[in-house]
Amino acid sequence: MATLIREVMTRGARTLAPADSVRDAARLMHELDVGAVLVCDGRRLQGMLTDRDIVLRVVSPGLAPEDTAIDQVMSPEVVWCFEYDEVAAVAARMQQARIRRLPVVDRAQQLVGIVTLGDLASRGEHGWAQEVLADVSEASQPAVPPDE
């Protein structure tokens, strides 16, 4: 019998509301020692804010984290899975999308948790984490300035 995501995911993911500030998100990331926060309106998934989003969309343009609402800079298009999806299928989705974490929803599409590479590595039976990580971490070529 195939392993389902609900058997390996992390339940009870902490979330923030779209109107919360980026500073609130950064503090929560620091407190939880994570690189992303799920953004929900109640239990309905609205998006995700990553540490990379904060750097590129807040710090780089010089926005004030305490005055910037999460929904102004979050990634609203989030790849997610159902809690009853098979681990193999979800690992393939993560590999194809080159992502390290996926929100997990129930049949009513309400957030119930998150599945990460760490979850796949520590509780998965196949070695999915190594396969996903190989694609997610594939080195990209740095931009090389033209010769002058």
CA dist., res. 35 & res. 54, Å (int): 10
Q: What is the pLDDT of residue 124?
A: 57
CA dist., res. 46 & res. 97, Å (int): 19
Question: pLDDT 10s per residue in the chain (148 long)?
Answer: 788 999 999 998 899 999 999 999 999 999 999 999 999 998 889 999 999 999 999 999 999 999 999 999 999 889 999 999 999 899 889 888 888 899 999 999 899 999 988 888 776 555 544 554 444 444 445 555 555 4
Q: How far is CA 12 from CA 35, 36, 73, 83, 115, in A?
A: 16, 14, 24, 13, 11
Residue with tokens 């590479």: 117
CA dist., res. 108 & res. 47, Å (int): 17
Q: What is the pLDDT of residue 88?
A: 87
CB 18, CB 102: distance < 8 Å: no
CA dist., res. 96 & res. 47, Å (int): 19
Q: What is the pLDDT of residue 127?
A: 55
Q: What is the pTM of this model?
A: 0.77
Residue type, position 82, single letter: F
Q: What is the pLDDT of residue 126?
A: 55
Q: What is the pLDDT of residue 133?
A: 47
